[in-house]
Structure 1
Amino acid sequence: MHTTTVNKSHMLFCEYYKQWISVYKEGAIRPVTMNKYYMTYQWLVKLIPTLIVGDLDRITYQKLLNDYALEHERQTTMDFHHHLKCAILDAVDEGLIPHDPTRKAIIKGKQPRQKKPKYLNQYELHKLLDDLNLSDQINMDWLILLIAKTGMRFSEALALTPKDFDLRHQLVIVSKTWDYKGNGGFLPTKNQSSIRKIPLDWQTVIQFAELIKNLPEDEPIFVQKKVYNSTINDILARHCKNVNIPIISVHGLRHTHASILLFAGVSIASVARRLGHSNITTTQKTYLHIIQELESKDIDIIMRSLSNLNS
């Protein structure tokens, strides 16, 4: 065996993983995803601080997953497993570990918590929008309205400038995001498909034409100082409580927008485009429960139509 391979197989596994992240992931993935890999590294330091790369076998790996699963739900444990697996397979390829220890791994996890409602129905959304304080100055209630009407991501809505509104053609243009988790400033969109033009209803066009007419062309409309996701969620929660509807997050407004369109019969392809999903599969996965509900309705319609066909 080559000397370097021997040396590497005597490395601490957590250090090997840290090195692997730095070589293969640094600069290749978005900072948010990068943080998840570093979080996995911190868990390795906590759970297996002294494990040597060459000693990682199926039992040791399964025990690591089991220990992690004691404090996490199954889906989170699955993500942890996926973050580790690529690095471990590389170690197998390098001859540092004789066999793939991740093979046939069993994913466990804590009982999922009671899930909060992800979206509102049309009646609840009407009640929420009626409670908004839509003054003649831009405030965060206008941001809530715009996300509810367009299904934009929070970071996309924050990045909007007056120049992004093509009011003559009733469009809002999404071409960037706002770095609200970091130090502010514009960032690229999540992916190429996120760059899009979203048609607006005439009422929203009239409202925003008035609001933005004297604002600086290239400055974000909704950002005067540092904006926190939690601040908007608190404002939204207060409105939900006021009108006695389920409390949702600002991201839940995006889900609400999509679900209302799907229930209205808008095609999944159009909804995916409007949301800026890179493919329809993402939309299908996210809104599977709604699609299944709509399919049940479709079956009733199909059966009624067929029974009307007399031979």
Structure 2
Amino acid sequence: MTENVRFCQYFKQWMELYKAGAVRPVTYQKYEMTYKQLVALAPNMTLEELSRLTYQQLLNDYAETHERQTTMDFHRHLKSSLLDALEEGMIGRDPTRKAIIKGTSHQQHKIKFLHQYELQALLNELDLAGEVNWDYFILLISKTGLRFAEALGVTPDSFDFAHQTLTVDKTWDYKSSLGGFAPTKNESSVRKIPLDWQTVIQFSQLTKHLPEDKPIFVQGKVYNDTVNHYLERLCKRAQVPVISVHGLRHTHASLLLYAGVSIASVARRLGHSNMTTTQQTYIHIIQELENQDNDKVMKHLASLI
């Protein structure tokens, strides 16, 4: 009977039936997290007990310890399952209608990046004389702004040395125990990144005798923490602020913006789906550059008679 079916029980069945194998593993993990949260918040709530009031209370309970965007994701997962339950006649009406999404205040996460002279000091510490190592991995991200999984997915045939470009069309699923190639984050992430001549020379030498279709940097299981700890030691040796591998991506974008590269070009290089993402991520730099531009405008106007 429907009145005895627990909401979390139904969601788990729905998730396994409609989402398992239909979405990327990393996306399915988010549905599994929603299920765990649902069990923690309302382990005994049945479909029959669901109403706009009880559903709103469930969202409010979740929102007490999560930011609004995270609460919105939680709501979307639950809503999708409940709309199917409504269509199947398991519930009489949509309890998610006009739901109010709340959440804790957004925490401004400080973006850590290096300034140009700091990045140069870090790069000076790299050992690029031997074979493939994490130093080359750090160099590649510093010069291209690749995401961690994108850099792991780079193979020798990703490079077009004649035209000085790197094609990003796959990632490496380092979070899975099995590993393997995986799609990019989104369609916009598929891109060709122009390379400087120095990087071309370094990687043409490095990849000369490597298998064309095998990932350059993957030797067994790869952990993000392993590379971050290695980078931390390099930063301390170079006497610069400690940043993460993702911080190298921020460093790359920041240096381009300070150099006067347009937001549109930076967005394409990073593989952002739109310029809004770039603007929101680097708003502090953009505002600083706008202030500099305003000073230039005022000086120019003041010189006019």
Aligning the two structures, in what range does the TM-score lie when normalised by the shorter sequence?
A: 0.7 to 0.9
Distance 1:132 1:31, change over 3 A: same
Counterparts of 2:156 and 2:173, CA distance in 1: 18
Counterparts of 1:287 and 1:117, CA distance in 2: 8
The answer on 1:287 being equivalent to 2:282 is yes
Match of 1:119 among 113, 124, 129: 113
Q: Deviation of residue 27 (structure 1)? A: 4.0
Equivalent residue pairs, number:
303
Runs of at least 5 residues in structure 1 that lack an aligned partner in the other structure: 1-6
Match of 2:171 among 177, 196, 201: 177
SS of equivalent residue, structure 2 residue 48: helix
State the superposition RMSD in angstroms.
2.6
Runs of at least 5 residues in structure 2 that lack an aligned partner in the other structure: none
Code of the residue aligned with 1:186 in structure 2: it is: F
Per-residue Cα deviation, 1:53-105 (whole angstroms, up to 9, x for no partner): 23223443343234334444454334323433443455566662545446352
Residue 203 of structure 1: aligned partner: 198
Distance 1:274 1:9, change over 3 A: farther
Distance 1:100 1:118, change over 3 A: farther
SS of equivalent residue, structure 1 residue 205: helix
The answer on 1:81 being equivalent to 2:75 is yes
SS of equivalent residue, structure 1 residue 232: helix
Residue 242 of structure 2: aligned partner: 247
Q: Deviation of residue 165 (structure 1)? A: 1.7
SS of equivalent residue, structure 2 residue 135: helix
Per-residue Cα deviation, 1:115-156 (whole angstroms, up to 9, x for no partner): 454322222222221222223211001100100100111112
- The answer to which of 206-215 and 94-103 deviates more is 94-103
Counterparts of 1:20 and 1:41, CA distance in 2: 11
Kept in 1, the 8 Å contact 2:68–2:101? The answer is: no
The answer on 1:148 being equivalent to 2:142 is yes
Residue 271 of structure 1: aligned partner: 266
Kept in 2, the 8 Å contact 1:147–1:254? The answer is: yes
- The answer to which of 136-145 and 29-38 deviates more is 29-38
The answer on 1:213 being equivalent to 2:214 is no
Code of the residue aligned with 1:303 in structure 2: it is: M
Q: Deviation of residue 263 (structure 1)? A: 1.6
Counterparts of 2:46 and 2:17, CA distance in 1: 20
Distance 1:306 1:272, change over 3 A: same
Code of the residue aligned with 1:232 in structure 2: it is: V
Structure 1 vs Structure 2: percent identity of aligned residues?
A: 61
TM, length-normalised to structure 1:
0.86
SS of equivalent residue, structure 2 residue 167: strand
TM, length-normalised to structure 2:
0.87
SS of equivalent residue, structure 1 residue 136: coil
Kept in 2, the 8 Å contact 1:116–1:248? The answer is: no
Q: Deviation of residue 9 (structure 1)? A: 5.7
- The answer to which of 18-27 and 127-136 deviates more is 18-27
SS of equivalent residue, structure 2 residue 100: coil
